[in-house]
Amino acid sequence: MRYMFEKMGARTESVNRRIESMAIDVKAEYKIEALANPTYPHQESVTAVGRILNISPGEGPSTAPLSSETVFLETSRRLGNGRRVPLDVQSTPSFSLFPGQIVAVEGKNLKGTEFSVSQLRALPSLPHPSIGEREGGVQPFSAVVASGPYTLSDSFEYEPLSDLVDHITAELPSVVFLLGPFVSESHPMLKDGQTDLLPEEIFATKIAPHLTRLREKLPSASDIFLVPSADELCCPFVSFPQPQFSRDLMARLGVPAGIQSLDNPAQVSINGVVFGIANIDVLFHLVKEEVSRLPALSDRLPRLAWHLVEQRHFYPLSPPPADCAGILASFDSKLGMLAMPDILVTPSQLRHFVRAHENVVLVNPGSSSKGLAGGTFAKIYVHSADAVEPSSTMLSDPTKTLPSECTNASIVRI
């Protein structure tokens, strides 16, 4: 993977593909004969698909947060020659918008200068098979999900990581996800030059022993996964998406055998349950850019996570903040969701939460340390369908049961 070597047209090409892909599904979902070009005059109500932009009229792209006065719709090359048109959302009863979002809008463009939106159509979702439709079904298991940083801001002793390992070895979960950063570039002692240790030395001497203890005390059948972070000093790739830690790197860091690494972002199936993991603070980036009015999901933090599911993309915001690691358009395909997640993990410095929405469990485990205090992590239990109180769906048609109906998740403080 090479970063800072993108061709000029790579980003526009990836945007065009995303709009076209969603347009095809919208057309099929709503049985629309032909989608309209929203930049042309339309006296009748039409449906168009495009991407939300934040543009100040007459001034170009805006650096201020998105508002109802700066919302534009960008079309694909096929649907509108890539042209842009202002969106009037004053008459729209409900919306939740951010720059880069793919939307399906219904409305009119009476004069050819502005598209007046009457409603935003719900985007088609990825297929979400029930437990009965999955090969092998779903087997019960437990999981722990934790995110860095794992040490306090005034030391490199990794006390929260030690406490976390104590919690995990007491519970003996089937799966453990440890998300970076493990050695954070934003740690105050590193920024102020208060240590002579190299990042790899910190990992090998302070973190690897805890990983060894964890691996030795968990059953051999339990899986442990490490996921890199753009804030990770031990990872040579600072952009997003990121490849997994290489075997050579893990050997240098002293990571014991029996611990695996995943790409960032990652989708992995555990006993038939699909986890989606985006180890970048996309929620914190979205919270500054989103504008909404009476959204269907009123709880804001889970709504930000739900945008990823709705957009089928692990980083739908565009452009990213200036202080964010580069988002590689050349590898945009690796940011797309290949399957509907049953559990979506989005670590963020925003308040931790667990929320089930439309059969997807949304989880922000928080960070394992908070300044000078311990932080939080998430525990997840997936039960067999006959071990939980039946829902209305399970009573009416047990074959249509989804994993979210058999899942309990909670936030635990370290």
Q: Quote the pLDDT of residue 331.
A: 85
CB 268 within 8 A of CB 225: yes
| Assigned token pair, 288 | 């500054």
Distance of CA 356 to the CA centre of its chain: 15
CB 363 within 8 A of CB 345: yes
Distance, CA of 98 to CA of 291 (rounded, Å): 6
What is the DSSP-derived secondary structure letter of residue 253? H
- Residue labelled with tokens 């790197």: 249
Q: Quote the pLDDT of residue 63.
A: 73
Burial of 13 (0-12, 13-18, 19+ CB in 10 A): middle
Distance, CA of 412 to CA of 414 (rounded, Å): 7
Low-confidence ranges of the chain (pLDDT < 50): none
Q: Quote the pLDDT of residue 397.
A: 66
What is the DSSP-derived secondary structure letter of residue 334? G
User: Who contacts 318 (Cβ-Cβ below 8 Å, separation ≥6)?
Assistant: 15, 51, 99, 100, 327
Distance, CA of 74 to CA of 76 (rounded, Å): 7
Task: List, as one string, the DSSP characters of 65-111.
Answer: PP-TTSEEEEPPHHHHTT-EEEEE-TT-SSEEE-TT-EEEEEEEESS
Task: List, as one string, the DSSP characters of 298-327.
Answer: --HHHHHHHHHHHHTBS---SSPPTTSPPB
Pseudo-torsion of CA 29, 19, 312, 47, nearest 10°?
Answer: -40
Q: Quote the pLDDT of residue 323.
A: 77
Q: Quote the pLDDT of residue 325.
A: 60
What is the DSSP-derived secondary structure letter of residue 176? E
Distance, CA of 213 to CA of 166 (rounded, Å): 10
CB 202 within 8 A of CB 183: yes
Burial of 125 (0-12, 13-18, 19+ CB in 10 A): middle
Distance, CA of 187 to CA of 370 (rounded, Å): 12
SS3 at position 243: coil
Number of helical (H) and strand (E) elements in the chain, helices listed first: 10, 21
Distance, CA of 154 to CA of 390 (rounded, Å): 48
> CA angle at residue 16 from 15 to 21, to 5 degrees?
100
CB 361 within 8 A of CB 407: yes
CB 236 within 8 A of CB 230: no
Distance, CA of 158 to CA of 152 (rounded, Å): 7
